[in-house]
Structure 1
Amino acid sequence: MKHTIVMTGASRGIGRVAARRILRRSPDAHLLVVARASRGARLAAELASGGYTVSHVPADLRSLDSVRAAAVGIRDRLDRGALPPLRGFVGNAGVQYTNALTEGPEGLEATFTVNVLANHLFVRLLQDRFAVPARIVITVSDTHFGDLRHNLGMVPGPVWRSPDTLARTGAFARPDTAAGGRTAYSTSKLAAIHLVHEYARRLPSGIDAVAYNPGFVPGTGLARDAGPVSRFAMRRVMPVMTLTPFATSPDTAGRRLADVVLGAIRAPTGSYVDRDRVGRSSEESYDPRREGDLWEAAERFL
């Protein structure tokens, strides 16, 4: 049956692999990619080259006004019958800056905006347009654990603050450094898991929400501003680690993301899929009070 899947972060890396696999595995899907106007049409044409149905909607995920316009445009296309029923949203786009001082157009901290608020705005504005059964998948990260086993010493663990603080620049120590930017990243991924738990509680039955952790995927650029030892390890050592359980290749991570989206990896709503199976996220990530506070704050920001 014809259906629509909306996806951010399909232009490169694991998202590009996942988009192609979704189209191959689900040829009835209309994949609607969200991308900046300068690349959206080109990306859609490249993905559609095998005869698949792909279109795009322009958006700058750093701007909530831009995200809102994109989501409203998707709603309009669904209402007019220009798109088949909506059955999926994939929030795969993510950013990490070299500081915790970068602002989006609305004055909010850019990491938190892209990795948390943009996804939330899409979910909320599309919530009543989903045709059940539907699935929301948000890409998260091992970094939210904050320990050596998961972060390999390259990314500081999350430092939770009130959502009003996290949404503003300078929320962390040494905000003008790469360490500050990486702390913003790991904290945003923890926040994304919190919201997945809240979606599981609040969204109507039949709309499942799942967090997907691809594991450590070398080549993502997380260590590009680290010291020389870390940069050397990322370039020379880490790619070899994809042959071990400690790291995942982009191809494998992308295929698994597609399988989560399509339900080939079975996961009930609220689940944390660790690579290719349902597992547990960090103990810190299970905090209903914090999750409720984050939901309420995100609603205010939007």
Structure 2
Amino acid sequence: MQHTVVMTGASRGIGRIAAEHVLRRSPGVHLLVVVRGSQGARLAAELSEGGHTVSHVPADLGSLESVKSAAAEIRERLELGDLPPLRGFVGNAGMQYTNALTEGPDGLESTFAINVLANHLFVRLLQDRFVTPARIVITASDTHFGDFKHNMGMVPGPAWKSPDVLARPGAFPKPDTAAAGRTAYSTSKLAAIYLVHEYARRLPAGIDAVAYNPGFVPGTGLARNAGPVARFAMRRILPLMALTPFATGRGAAGRYLADVVLGTTSTPSGSYVDRARAARSSEESYDPRREGELWDAAERFTAAYAA
């Protein structure tokens, strides 16, 4: 049966590989990629090679107004029959900055806006357009554990605060440093898991939500805002770690993501999938009070755009 899957973060890294797998393994999929700027037409054309059905909508995920416009276009195309029924949303795009001071057009800290609120606004604006069975997949990160076993000391663990604090620039000590930027990243990924738990509770039956952890994947575009030395290490040196058990190659991580999107890795709603299997996320990530608090805050932050 033909159906639509909406995907962010499909232009590079594990998202690009996952998109190719989804299209190859599920011929009935119409993949709609959400891409910033003018890249969308080129990406859609490249992914369409071989007869696949791919289209695009533009969006700057750091702008809630832009996310609203993209979701409105998707809704309109669904209503007009230009797209087959919606059965999937993949929030794979993510950003890590070299500070915790980067501010988007809405006055929100950009890591939190992109990694948390953009996904939430897409889910809420498209929620009533899903045809069951449907699946929402949000890419998380094992940096949310905050221990050496999971991040080898490269990323500080999350430092949870009130969502009203996390959503604003300067939430962490020495906010102009790379360490603060990495803390913002790990904290945003903890927030993503909290929201997945809330989606599992609140979304209608038949719409599953899953958090996917690719593990440490060197050589992606995540560090594109880092300095030249860090970018060189991520591109040329750290990819060698994919040959060890401490990291995941881009090909494997993309394939695992496609497995989750397609339901090949079958898990209950609210699950955390660590690469190829369902697993337990950090103890800190199971906190109904924080989950409810974050849901309420995300609803407030996006209310003006969800009307």
Normalised to the residue count of structure 1, the TM-score between the two structures is 0.96
Report the CA distance between 1:23 and its aligned residue: 0.2
Counterpart contact for 1:223–1:234, Cα < 8 Å: no
**Separation (CA, whole Å) in 2 of partners of 1:169 and 1:203:** 30
Report the CA distance between 1:271 and its aligned residue: 0.3
For residue 161 of structure 1, what is the aligned residue in structure 2? 161
Asked whether 1:45 is paired with 2:45, we answer yes
**Separation (CA, whole Å) in 1 of partners of 2:39 and 2:235:** 27
Cα distance change on mapping 1:15 and 1:282 into 2, 3 Å: same
| SS class of match (1:268) | coil
Q: How does 1:199-210 map to 2 (within 5 A)?
A: 199-210=199-210
Cα distance change on mapping 1:67 and 1:225 into 2, 3 Å: closer
For residue 184 of structure 1, what is the aligned residue in structure 2? 184
Cα distance change on mapping 1:46 and 1:271 into 2, 3 Å: same
For residue 81 of structure 2, what is the aligned residue in structure 1? 81
Counterpart contact for 2:272–2:279, Cα < 8 Å: yes
- More off after superposition, 14-23 vs 235-244: 235-244
**Separation (CA, whole Å) in 2 of partners of 1:245 and 1:60:** 35
Report the CA distance between 1:37 and its aligned residue: 2.9
> Match of 1:255, as an amino acid?
R
**Separation (CA, whole Å) in 2 of partners of 1:234 and 1:19:** 22
Percent sequence identity over aligned pairs: 76
What CA RMSD, in Å, does the superposition of the two structures yield over aligned residues? Answer: 1.7
Normalised to the residue count of structure 2, the TM-score between the two structures is 0.95
For residue 138 of structure 1, what is the aligned residue in structure 2? 138
**Separation (CA, whole Å) in 1 of partners of 2:54 and 2:231:** 37
Counterpart contact for 1:98–1:225, Cα < 8 Å: yes
Report the CA distance between 1:203 and its aligned residue: 0.3
For residue 55 of structure 1, what is the aligned residue in structure 2? 55
**Separation (CA, whole Å) in 2 of partners of 1:283 and 1:262:** 28
| SS class of match (1:56) | strand
Q: Once superposed, which parts of structure 1, at least 4 consecutive aligned residues long, lie more than 6 Å away?
A: 230-233
Report the CA distance between 1:298 and its aligned residue: 0.3
For residue 70 of structure 2, what is the aligned residue in structure 1? 70
For residue 147 of structure 2, what is the aligned residue in structure 1? 147
**Separation (CA, whole Å) in 1 of partners of 2:224 and 2:179:** 10
Report the CA distance between 1:219 and its aligned residue: 1.6
For residue 170 of structure 1, what is the aligned residue in structure 2? 170
> Match of 1:76, as an amino acid?
E
Q: Which runs of 5+ in 1 are unaligned?
A: none
**Separation (CA, whole Å) in 2 of partners of 1:227 and 1:288:** 41
Report the CA distance between 1:227 and its aligned residue: 11
> Match of 2:170, as an amino acid?
G
Report the CA distance between 1:223 and its aligned residue: 9.7
| SS class of match (1:164) | helix
**Separation (CA, whole Å) in 2 of partners of 1:267 and 1:273:** 8
**Separation (CA, whole Å) in 1 of partners of 2:237 and 2:198:** 38
Which digits, 9 at most, give the CA deviation of each residue in 1:240-282, with x for residues without a partner?
Answer: 3212221100010001100100001111100000010000100
| SS class of match (1:50) | coil
Q: How does 1:262-301 map to 2 (within 5 A)?
A: 262-301=262-301
